[in-house]
Amino acid sequence: MLTACGTTADDIHRWGRRGQYERIRQELSGQPAEAVRVAAASEFGAGHCPFAIPDLVLLSRDPSPRVRLSAVEALGRYAGREVYTAILERCGDDNQTVSDAAGRILKTWGDESVDVLIEALADRSYRVRVAAVQVLAGMRDARIGHHLVERARRDDNSLVRREAARALADSGFNAARPVLYELSQCDPSPEVALEAERALARLGGNVFPFKIVVMPASNGSKDLADAAVLLNRTLEEKLVARRLCEVLGVQAGAKAGKDASAAAAFGRFHQADQVVWGVLESKEGQLRIQLYRLDVASGKILQQESGDGYEEEGENTVETVVDQLVSRFR
């Protein structure tokens, strides 16, 4: 195709081979045809001309997807804030080929681009935020983890939250365990909850860095002795299975406690940070179970759960109330 002044794509390539980049820039000011703009972007990339970066940034916003693609590929040969910002912008491009190219180039960036990527986490386009999250996951910078946590918890797009959960595991940010657990239990998107659960498994270890001990449950009558034993065993098994924290063993012969002061003393004796215990009561065939979690140092009740059921269905009631405690564990 010819421009108004007769310049063709072949002319642009010939000037590029000769290093006549200023002449190419002059042609761009005259609103040339699409083929000329594509060729210009290509030659600017091949020529490694830093003064051509502003032209490439403009071409990366061209109405033509072909021109934008050529400009993105060319920008990928440069570095600097202006370049990073322009390529990030194209991650939200309506054309899939262009956005894929921008995403591929992002993954080749080094740590000098961290600041720009962190800024991109607040971009209006969720596609740009997703791309920034994915690239940050592979970098090692002390600031990254906290920003990924913020995206995982507060982003209004479920795809961004899911990618942030995955990135937290990729980056090995161990302090994210409580947030990932919260997402696995509470996020409205099943995909995010599942990804958070997978991320927790990949990080390994306990969710919370403290020690907990399960004090023998208090039961109002001998008829509830078996249910009390089942309650304690279920509590320990589920706390261990979910890797919520380190669960300490209980010394043989330990006595049940009914109040917070007894639980605090029990926790200090076992050198635990927190104590969980239950109270079982029965009235006219109805079983009521109450669970408490206490902070040993302060003596404060951190969590309280309860459940009711028929005595003959005591096992189901135990399962229900323990699941409540575990799922709301904070």
Place of tokens 């065993």: 233
Q: Is 49 left (phi over 0), alpha (psi -120 to 50) or beta?
A: beta
Flag residues of the chain having pLDDT under 70: 1-5
For residue 43, CA distances in Å to 26, 103, 197 come to 14, 22, 48
Task: Tell me the C-alpha distance between 143 and 153, whole Å.
Answer: 16
How many C-beta neighbours within 10 Å does residue 308 have? 12
Supply the pLDDT for residue 283. 85
Pick from 158, 151, 146: nearest CA to 132? 151
Residue 147 tokens read as 């920003």
What phi and psi, each to the nearest 5 degrees, are found at residue 226? -65, -40
The whole-number pLDDT of residue 3 equals: 44
pLDDT at residue 1 in the model: 40
| Residue 246: per-residue pLDDT | 95
| Residue 31, pLDDT score | 84
Residue 149 CA: distances (Å) to CA of 138, 146, 174: 15, 5, 11
Helix (H) or strand (E) holding 212: strand 211-214
Query: How far is it, in rounded angstroms, from Cα 92 to Cα 144?
Result: 22
DSSP-derived 3-state class of residue 307: strand
Q: Name the helix (H) or strand (E) containing 214.
A: strand 211-214
> Does residue 236 come out as left (phi exceeding 0), alpha (psi in the -120 to 50 range) or beta?
alpha
Backbone angles phi and psi of 273, in degrees to 5: -85, -35
Q: What is the pLDDT of residue 4?
A: 45
Tokens of 319: 């399962």
Domains defined for the chain, CATH in brackets:
1-108 (1.25.10.10), 211-327 (3.40.50.10070)
**Residue 5: what pLDDT?**
52
pLDDT digits (tens, 9 = 90+) for 228-250: 999 999 999 999 998 999 999 99
- State the pLDDT at residue 234: 96
Residue given tokens 């720009």 in the structure block:
116
Identify whether the C-beta of residue 329 lies closer than 8 Å to the C-beta of residue 292.
no
